[in-house]
Structure 1
């Protein structure tokens, strides 16, 4: 006999943890959060990163002598330079700030000379492949984020977490005795399921590209921070992405948001699958909070289309294949073909 309540408990626990992680991941810099907009904003006086105006109006500011510069911690000198002058990205070294006065130029020049001539343990420390070493001052003034980690570590973390959550949910289905059909698992007519999944995935990707193009023309650019942070830098990384990470992501998310929240809940508690499709789509969008507001809306709409396809086909394989193709084509289109 199926223990639907027990499986609902497993599902609720996984969903709660996933949404909590999504909430905390909003701290990762992106277009709407602490990304370039935050760095470009002028800093308030006294917050550790004063702008040129506050330096110009400070009556008792003085330029340190060469001896004082040698005795002063270089990181303190760099505090006179606004972090808005640095633009740290994954393609090259950050430009140095332009000094506003000749005296300030001497201070900044001394600071950078200290950085360039620093001890080997600081300035010559090896960086992981694909990660550009940012100026030490910028690193000391901003908190570490997912963008500072090499893509292969992020991908490995994603793959392991998805495998763990998926395994836990599968264990719950086994423990509760949930029928495979309730989760949309069926071996009947596999070629047809695969074909429908491929067609749905291509259609969704095409619609997503059209929507992105239209939104950009209206000045609403999609947030690409998460995708860029996961983009591999090596051939082995691309193989791992397409063969391991993306299948695990698609499989786990479809099992949770479509198989469990739509199929199992509708079958076990006599609830309309279309009602659960709406609920699961809202949760699916919220679970992608790191992609920003636009990402939440777009992902929620995508989730509803996938949920509708699951209800109509009663096949988990269809939506897993479609989900995988959308993600894979996004990476391939942006990074390999420049679409």
Structure 2
């Protein structure tokens, strides 16, 4: 006999863990040394050197203002003291200044002090110990998704939940794959069009997370496309569609459409690292996937669609700059 109360508890624990990871990941620095806050939260924040910092020294330059740090003064305004007015151009030309850029890779130039002792090149992220190579970030995501997915699967086994409740069945696989591919491509196209329109309206989506996870080597691309993204799509669909909609609608006798709405909100909140606009867009995407799951009763369809949306985002941006 199925223990639906126990399975509901397992599902709740996994959901809370995932949402907690998403919340705390907002402040984690990316490979370029910039925190994963949404762009509309950070556009208004400009870092300025402290009053006692030496000119051209360790003052922090915000990555969003890399090309606009030269102050413009009114004709009648008094000029600030020389030791407090350092232009961005001076920072670039000063032989003893530490360059601050938003690039992922540190500058090839090495700062040299008066004793001609070479120092380690400095980038915005050098003082952030949580920075890590891209392939390690990808591996970290893959492992965390695998662990949570394994815990959820263990909960289903422990509670005796039949696999059919998750929308898993061996029949008509080619048709399900075809539906998944068609839906994934369609969602990607709609997402790209929506992203272009939002930029024209002044709402730039936060793409820092995707840029951070974009591989730089062929091995990294294999790790991303063959390991990480399938695990992400499989786990998230198992949780948000298979468990929260399929299994709980059967076990708790609740309308699957009501659970589809609830799971879509949770799905959007689970992508906090993509910013406020990303939460809304992801929530809408989640509802389309949820509706597809309810109508088809197949987890395979939504897993394939989810994977394709993610994979095409990375590949399209890398090859065509989309």
User: How does the TM-score come out when normalised to structure 2?
Assistant: 0.80
Hey, what does 2:31 align to over in structure 1?
Answer: none
Change in 2 beyond 3 A, CA 1:216/1:119:
same
Cα RMSD between the aligned structures?
3.1
Separation (CA, whole Å) in 1 of partners of 2:145 and 2:182: 25
2-structure distance, mates of 1:151, 1:38: 28
Q: Partner residue of 1:134?
A: 123
Distance (Å, rounded) in 1 between the aligned partners of 2:95 and 2:161: 68
Aligned residues: 288
Determine whether 1:32 maps to 2:21: no
The whole-number CA distance in structure 1 between the counterparts of 2:251 and 2:110 is: 67
Measure, in 2, the Cα distance between the counterparts of 1:237 and 1:110.
36
Q: 1:324 to 1:83 in 2, by over 3 A?
A: same
Structure with greater helix share of residues: 1
Change (3 A) 1:79 1:12: farther
Structure 1: gaps (5+ residues): 44-48, 56-75, 125-132
Q: Is the 8 A contact 1:205 1:330 kept in 2?
A: yes
Q: Determine the C-alpha separation between the residues in 2 that align with 1:313 and 1:237.
A: 34
Residue 294 of structure 1, aligned match among 277, 280, 291: 277
Q: Residue 217 of structure 1 aligns with which residue?
A: 200
Q: Structure 1: how far apart are the matches of 2:217 and 2:64?
A: 21
Greater Rg over alpha carbons, structure: 1
Equivalence for 1:195: 178
- 8 Å contact kept, 1:163–1:248: yes
1:283 aligns with 2:280: no
2:300 to 317, 320, 324: 317
State the alpha-carbon separation in 1 of the partners of residues 197 and 96 from structure 2. Answer: 48
Q: In the superposition, relative to structure 1, how do residues 31 and 181 fare at CA in structure 2: closer, same or farther (>3 Å)?
A: same
What's the CA shift for 1:134?
1.0
What are structure 2's unaligned runs of at least 5 residues?
Answer: 29-34, 72-80, 99-108
SS of residue in 1 equivalent to 2:161: coil
What are the Cα deviations for residues 15-37 of structure 1, in whole angstroms up to 9, with x where unaligned? 00111111111113246369863
